[in-house]
Structure 1
Amino acid sequence: MDKILDLLPHQSPFRFVDKITEYVPRNSLAAKFSPSNIPFFNLRQVPLSVLVESVAQSAILLTQLETSPLSDDEIPLLGSIDIQLHSESLDDNEVFLIKVNIVKLLSKQAVLSGEVLNGNHQKILSANISVAVAAGMRGD
């Protein structure tokens, strides 16, 4: 399942998905993220924006698995994200679990629901996300 991460155009230190733990075709993807793996994370708390980005990156991965991988001239786009915060307890030493489920899937667009759980399986945030793929956007 680690090969799935190769589909993500983001690279360290801006990749906020460390490991794919489960992929259920036509349904869902689960991943893990540990902020302690990123060198510049010497904060006491993980910024909420980083966890939101981990959900968005997981959504991009699931969309590519269900449609097709990005070609060299395509980039993933976040269309919208609606977030509900459930807890503000964000320890930088935790390993977070990210779960993303398909709500609606088209050829190069998707609507998904996602959530981030802490190490105790307490829900930190939930989100509704729309993503798309734009062609002809990458330049050399």
Structure 2
Amino acid sequence: SMLVVLLAEGIGGAIIDDGRVVMGGHGYSGEIGHTIVSAGGRVDTFEMLAGAKLFTRLFEEGQPVADGVQMLLAGIGNKEVDAALDAWVSGLSAGLVNAIHLLDPGRIVLGGPLAGLYPKLSRRIQADIKRRLLA
């Protein structure tokens, strides 16, 4: 049992159970990017709170998300970058906690260009998830 989360321009997902992708009744199973999340006093879709659109004001127009991630990592310590990353940590952990409570996956696999932020911020994300979980 696992949840695959694609962090890119938006957020996509797939639920894998017993080696098979779960399609759901209408083929929308795993589309967690469209779920409603509350993080940092803001209520929006998961992909608006933790997808690349969160960083629009920091990315150059037309910049590939992967290049933007490298720019964000290089900009840690800059007040504006740090604030955006704080918001991303909060939005990502809130969305993942909702998925954990709903699906109880054995594992979560993050992919996509924004997943490149995770190694640098993993401790903060894991602590925020732990703080929000029921048990």
Q: TM-score range by the shorter chain?
A: 0.3 to 0.5
TM-score w.r.t. structure 2 length? 0.35
More helix by share: 2
TM-score w.r.t. structure 1 length? 0.34
More strand by share: 1
